[in-house]
């Protein structure tokens, strides 16, 4: 946590940089929180860990592609120690595939699907799972007014598995762009890997467009916060904006 120095007036409410595979692994974000304080997060890939001492932390921030992160921290005071978290793994358990599922029992949240916290989507996904459970409980009550829960667990786990697909594909797709990532099944044929590479290239172009077009920036924020589904970035509107951006970039000067 940091606090801005007296008199410093930032021109942002949220400041964030995005890593770009394969050679720009470092990123950072500053969130304005209550009490005129900043929550500051620095991150990288593989074994490139941000230091936990103040001087090293600032030097790491200096290396980011957006200078404003470092400039802002130079105009702030640390409020406490720096903490490091290295829990970046993704885990998915397929309880929906059990032939017999225990009655009156369900699993939800990280006990089923846990994703890299770097993307900030785990709690949202767990909340969506809890909302889905509430809906299934309502349906169960309508289906069985006497109050028993027979069959609820198995039905809910199948629904949750469908729900988890989106956040799982987001996290593993993003992590899979980095050569440091371990545990992913990487296709041996370049042809089989072509769709993933095309989507990653398209995502990079969307970020470029978002820097100058607020509509695209809002779309990416809403998709990132799981307010909108991932496939919304493939709708005609953003596709057309990316196409125009590419055509303009290749026009002769």
Is 83 inside a domain boundary? no
pTM assigned to the model? 0.80
Structural domains of the chain, count: 3
Task: Please indicate, yes or no, whether residues 7 and 69 belong to a single structural domain of this protein.
Answer: yes
pLDDT in tens, 100-159: 999 989 999 999 999 999 888 999 999 999 999 999 999 999 888 888 889 999 999 999
Residue 73, pLDDT score: 97
Dihedral angle over CA of 201, 206, 212, 214, nearest 10: -170
Task: Please indicate, yes or no, whether residues 194 and 167 belong to a single structural domain of this protein.
Answer: no
Residue 111, pLDDT score: 96
pLDDT in tens, 75-102: 999 999 999 988 888 999 999 999 999 9
Q: What domain range is 224 assigned to?
A: 190-249
């Amino acid at each position: 946590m940091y606090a801005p120095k007296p008199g410093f007036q930032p021109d942002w409410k949220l400041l964030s940089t995005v890593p770009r595979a394969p050679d720009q692994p470092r990123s950072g974000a500053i969130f304005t929180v209550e009490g005129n304080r900043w929550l500051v997060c620095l991150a990288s890939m593989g074994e490139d860990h941000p230091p936990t001492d103040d001087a090293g932390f600032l030097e790491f921030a200096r290396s980011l592609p957006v200078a404003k992160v470092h400039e802002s921290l130079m105009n702030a005071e640390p409020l406490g120690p720096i903490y490091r978290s290295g829990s970046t793994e993704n885990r998915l358990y397929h309880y929906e595939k059990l032939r017999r599922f225990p009655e009156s029992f369900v699993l939800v949240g990280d006990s089923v699907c846990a994703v890299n916290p770097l993307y900030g989507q785990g709690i949202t996904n767990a909340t969506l799972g809890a909302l889905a459970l509430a809906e299934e409980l309502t349906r169960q009550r309508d289906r069985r007014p006497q109050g028993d829960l027979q069959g609820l667990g198995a039905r809910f786990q199948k629904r949750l598995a469908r729900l988890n697909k989106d956040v799982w594909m987001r996290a593993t797709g993003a992590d899979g762009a980095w050569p440091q990532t371990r545990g992913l099944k990487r296709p041996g044929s370049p042809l089989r890997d072509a769709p993933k590479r095309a989507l990653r290239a398209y995502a990079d172009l969307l970020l470029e467009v978002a820097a100058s077009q607020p509509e695209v920036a809002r779309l990416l924020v809403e998709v990132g916060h799981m307010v909108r589904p991932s496939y919304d970035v493939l709708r005609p509107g953003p596709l057309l904006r990316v196409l125009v951006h590419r055509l303009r970039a290749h026009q002769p000067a």
